[in-house]
Chain A
């Protein structure tokens, strides 16, 4: 890409190549992320320090550090499908595609750079897509996990004790799950049905889609004001593999307040990588990836008034445009992306070819 066109579109763009591609990016600190391999039988888990140049602020010019540093690394015996960090600890939990356990790891501190496995949580079954996992938000570290609705349970990490099970006889597979606050959680099934539960209450409510089309796979993204929110402050976005988008208020999950169709290519084989995330700082902005080698940013404020397909505020095409992509038979697909927690327009994205991009885009409207 020419300098002038890049200058206009990006404030910052850093391109890296990981040795092995990852489908997880998980923040373990202000400046640290964890990534993990999923393509070999032996996979590496790495904790990386972001380039310090991003944090140098006014003195950015004086900071030469524009590289990622591998701070800690470990080996897993299986490809890793999901990885979550337990806030306030140095503990991460992973689920893989071949074993019937969740693995518990200690990332480590200053004295050693090796990530060690400290335990397992036994699962009822093995799932090729890996069990979906989410961190509990209570003081005592726990993980919410399940590959199908009836198997979802909350397990205490230190003891292995089952704290809660979902009392729902449903074999629908789980696409994602997340806690809204310490007790309330959401599960999104692959067919787009939402389940909301409370660990203080054995029953869960479910909200199927009004107009459920078969063959589609759904992912969800939760937007909340803080990590311990009340449902009133939360919005859920659901994205289908055909680009259909639903926005719902947690107080009224039955009827989404906004429905729209994004202009994306539908490819059923790429369901694995569907990702919709809300920006932590920018108001009502969300990002979408997994259809191809692009990450699209949308501003949802005007969505309900728009008749046709909404236009993205920005599209990052870097993964498609690399030299490697041009020469390979199949173009890379973005496996996941993640917003920086404090820098409003900084995003990290990774793709099937092992590329890792950190970028900060220029908003044509507001950044002139």
Chain B
């Protein structure tokens, strides 16, 4: 039985994600081994209506999703990966398990609540999840540890790997039987100041799903970007200006804090740096709690002093915004759409000595988005206009994998197939070719909403009886080799969830059946003027010359035997030259028997 190539086995993947580079929402459905898994459940930040949620009608037209999904897995706390989770679980309806790492579980609800507040309270939206819904949703969460296999049910198991990118971000391996898929979420292959680089073992999944937002990018070195950032901050502070850096509660802010702290220390700078109150405590609390998720260097230095308790960075008080002289302030929220960062911005916008550094993408409609588009006059509440005279800088510090990083990850995991999400197909054909050529694997790039089918070659483990093994070995030939399939004969018994390969005799015995032998007989007429014996002899010689590798015997009792095939020659007294060649063979030698009868019908050479 050839064990490798079985009938079409495989799984399908449907991806729903946003178009374009920075904006997007991730939500991927995988159906594998009869199990349905949802990977991430993101919110599309660019839309204000229902388009921001993934379209769950892919799964079912009406009703709850519980019976259609075996589990939901969330890779990290960014809203484009988890923003629609409460909507999905509480408003559409899902009661099954939701898996995420411990840090993600701790931080997700904070970001979701922040986001909910702004959307509902500030913008007055109605079709949105409530605070209670966020709480109810989080009750369904089962936390994951790194490298720990979690049994979702008897057949489905998952395992989380370190992804870098943000605190608690994970890549997840999903396994059903011998088929597996790895989903990367967002990841980073180069370590930064507070997080390590993504890592996975040579798990050889059937499919690796990777984001490819930066796949066609060759990124500027981190040192250059940091140098630029520090240069801008330093220049502003030197001329007595104030620098505002709007940030999200957790994420790259910590990275920038460590960077500034180190710089201030080295340059012996005196200007104060502030961090929004509440934020510092929360951030510190989480980084302390999840210290194992930060990088090696931080863990080492943490013993001597807490990397997140800064010497030069102090808690902010809103009255400080009016203090004269230079300062740097980190304040939330990140898009300048409300809260403290917007208040500070309003105070400082009129002075051209000041600077605001936007560290990430801003949703349309926010002040951040407007000033990044170069708007110099902003309309505030009560018809007041604000002149934007301060310097506006956009510096992206997001940590994603570029083309080189994707290739590194593929080298690490050795997948059999590759699937890229988040990119534009026609701009990625070269990368697809590169991956296919370098690794000899198929690379898929589905469009939003498209389903991709992956065919796998699962290996089916089968026990082989000792008897059969010995028999096969006795036949000679090369030893069994995993890379070289070889045909063998046996009987497969599938009983009680086990697969056994035994000899046919043993199978019959076990089943209590008696063996039947099938023999075929065929008569071939031939004109031959010799005696019966001589004709037989001529047949023997002819067959010997044609069938060089077979065992052919001319037995004195008047038969020629080829393998199990018996050949006899008879003739009648009336017509002694009309010979009747009798061929008889057993079912196992059907092919050879047919061949011989056809051969002899053509007659004998003279």
Q: How big is the B interface, by class? A: 35 or more
Look across to chain B and name the residue whose beta carbon is closest to the beta carbon of A12. B228
Inter-chain contact B426/A111, CB cutoff 8 Å: yes
Inter-chain contact B434/A44, CB cutoff 8 Å: yes
Residues of chain A in range 40-68 having any CB-CB distance to chain B below 8 Å: 42, 44, 48, 51, 59, 61-64, 66-68
Look across to chain B and name the residue whose beta carbon is closest to the beta carbon of A356. B218
Residues of B within 8 A of A113 (CB): 216, 426-430
Nearest-Cβ distance from residue B557 to partner chain A, whole angstroms: 68
Show 18 residue pairs from A and B whose CB-CB distance is below 8 angstroms, ordered by the A residue: A3-B231, A3-B267, A6-B227, A13-B224, A17-B221, A19-B404, A51-B220, A62-B372, A62-B392, A66-B225, A67-B220, A68-B218, A70-B217, A73-B434, A112-B426, A113-B216, A114-B429, A114-B433
Look across to chain A and name the residue whose beta carbon is closest to the beta carbon of B266. A2
Query: A14: CB under 8 A from chain B?
Result: yes
> Complex: how many Å from CA A51 to CA B225?
13
Residues of chain A in range 143-175 having any CB-CB distance to chain B below 8 Å: none
Nearest-Cβ distance from residue A327 to partner chain B, whole angstroms: 15
Inter-chain contact B394/A67, CB cutoff 8 Å: no
> Complex: how many Å from CA A88 to CA B514?
84
Residues of A within 8 A of B224 (CB): 13-15, 66
Inter-chain contact A61/B392, CB cutoff 8 Å: yes
Residues of B within 8 A of A59 (CB): 374
Q: How big is the A interface, by class? A: 35 or more
Residues of A within 8 A of B220 (CB): 14-16, 51, 66-67
0 or 1 for each of B400-411: is its CB under 8 Å from A? (1 = yes) = 000110010000
Known A64-B396, A70-B217; contact A114-B403, beta-carbon cutoff 8 A: no
0 or 1 for each of B226-241: is its CB under 8 Å from A? (1 = yes) = 0110110010000000
Residues of chain A in range 69-99 having any CB-CB distance to chain B below 8 Å: 69-75
Residues of A within 8 A of B427 (CB): 71, 113
Residues of chain A in range 1-33 having any CB-CB distance to chain B below 8 Å: 3, 6-7, 13-19
> Complex: how many Å from CA A70 to CA B404?
12
The 8 Å CB contact of A64, one of B395, B407, B428, is B395
> Complex: how many Å from CA A6 to CA B431?
36
0 or 1 for each of B190-229: is its CB under 8 Å from A? (1 = yes) = 0000000000000000000000001011111101110110
0 or 1 for each of B281-312: is its CB under 8 Å from A? (1 = yes) = 00000000000000000000000000000000
Residues of B within 8 A of A115 (CB): 430
Residues of A within 8 A of B391 (CB): 61
Inter-chain contact A7/B231, CB cutoff 8 Å: yes
Residues of chain B in range 540-570 having any CB-CB distance to chain A below 8 Å: none
0 or 1 for each of B420-440: is its CB under 8 Å from A? (1 = yes) = 000000111111011001000
Inter-chain contact B218/A75, CB cutoff 8 Å: no
Nearest-Cβ distance from residue A250 to partner chain B, whole angstroms: 39
Query: B589: CB under 8 A from chain A?
Result: no
Inter-chain contact A68/B217, CB cutoff 8 Å: yes
Inter-chain contact B393/A61, CB cutoff 8 Å: yes
Inter-chain contact B230/A3, CB cutoff 8 Å: yes
Inter-chain contact A70/B218, CB cutoff 8 Å: yes
Nearest-Cβ distance from residue A138 to partner chain B, whole angstroms: 32
Nearest-Cβ distance from residue A51 to partner chain B, whole angstroms: 7
Nearest-Cβ distance from residue A78 to partner chain B, whole angstroms: 16
Nearest-Cβ distance from residue B374 to partner chain A, whole angstroms: 6
* Residue of B228, B263, B437 with highest tally of chain A CB at under 10 A: B228
> Complex: how many Å from CA A113 to CA B220?
22
Residues of A within 8 A of B223 (CB): 15
The 8 Å CB contact of B217, one of A15, A18, A63, A67, is A67
The 8 Å CB contact of B430, one of A7, A64, A114, is A114
Residues of A within 8 A of B373 (CB): 62
Residues of A within 8 A of B433 (CB): 73, 75, 114
Look across to chain B and name the residue whose beta carbon is closest to the beta carbon of A73. B430
Nearest-Cβ distance from residue A32 to partner chain B, whole angstroms: 13
0 or 1 for each of A101-114: is its CB under 8 Å from B? (1 = yes) = 00000000001111
> Complex: how many Å from CA A17 to CA B431?
17
Residues of chain B in range 358-407 having any CB-CB distance to chain A below 8 Å: 372-374, 391-396, 403-404, 407
Residues of B within 8 A of A15 (CB): 220-221, 223-224
> Complex: how many Å from CA A75 to CA B217?
18
Nearest-Cβ distance from residue A105 to partner chain B, whole angstroms: 13
> Complex: how many Å from CA A196 to CA B263?
57
Nearest-Cβ distance from residue A17 to partner chain B, whole angstroms: 7
Inter-chain contact A69/B225, CB cutoff 8 Å: no
Extra A-B contacts (17), CB below 8 Å, given A14-B221, A14-B224, A70-B217: A3-B231, A3-B234, A6-B227, A13-B224, A16-B220, A17-B404, A19-B404, A44-B434, A67-B220, A69-B218, A73-B434, A75-B437, A112-B429, A113-B426, A113-B428, A114-B429, A114-B430
Inter-chain contact A67/B219, CB cutoff 8 Å: yes
Inter-chain contact B218/A67, CB cutoff 8 Å: yes
Nearest-Cβ distance from residue A54 to partner chain B, whole angstroms: 11
Residues of A within 8 A of B372 (CB): 62
Inter-chain contact B219/A69, CB cutoff 8 Å: no
* Residue of A51, A61, A72, A356 with highest tally of chain B CB at under 10 A: A61
> Complex: how many Å from CA A69 to CA B403?
10
Look across to chain A and name the residue whose beta carbon is closest to the beta carbon of B428. A113
Inter-chain contact A63/B218, CB cutoff 8 Å: no
Residues of chain B in range 89-148 having any CB-CB distance to chain A below 8 Å: none
> Complex: how many Å from CA A3 to CA B230?
8
Inter-chain contact B430/A72, CB cutoff 8 Å: yes
Look across to chain B and name the residue whose beta carbon is closest to the beta carbon of A322. B221
Nearest-Cβ distance from residue A129 to partner chain B, whole angstroms: 27
> Complex: how many Å from CA A179 to CA B180?
59
Nearest-Cβ distance from residue B288 to partner chain A, whole angstroms: 31
The 4 closest A-B pairs by CB, nearest first: A73-B430, A68-B218, A15-B221, A61-B393
> Complex: how many Å from CA A16 to CA B396?
16
Residues of B within 8 A of A63 (CB): 394
> Complex: how many Å from CA A66 to CA B398?
13
> Complex: how many Å from CA A112 to CA B433?
12
> Complex: how many Å from CA A62 to CA B391?
9
Inter-chain contact A16/B430, CB cutoff 8 Å: no
Look across to chain B and name the residue whose beta carbon is closest to the beta carbon of A51. B220
> Complex: how many Å from CA A72 to CA B372?
29
Residues of A within 8 A of B392 (CB): 61-62
Known A113-B426, A114-B433; contact A16-B374, beta-carbon cutoff 8 A: no
Inter-chain contact B218/A3, CB cutoff 8 Å: no
Residues of A within 8 A of B230 (CB): 3
Nearest-Cβ distance from residue B419 to partner chain A, whole angstroms: 18
Inter-chain contact B394/A48, CB cutoff 8 Å: no
The 8 Å CB contact of A18, one of B218, B234, B267, B407, is B218
Inter-chain contact B221/A3, CB cutoff 8 Å: no
Look across to chain B and name the residue whose beta carbon is closest to the beta carbon of A60. B393
0 or 1 for each of B338-375: is its CB under 8 Å from A? (1 = yes) = 00000000000000000000000000000000001110
Residues of B within 8 A of A69 (CB): 216-218
> Complex: how many Å from CA A44 to CA B403?
13
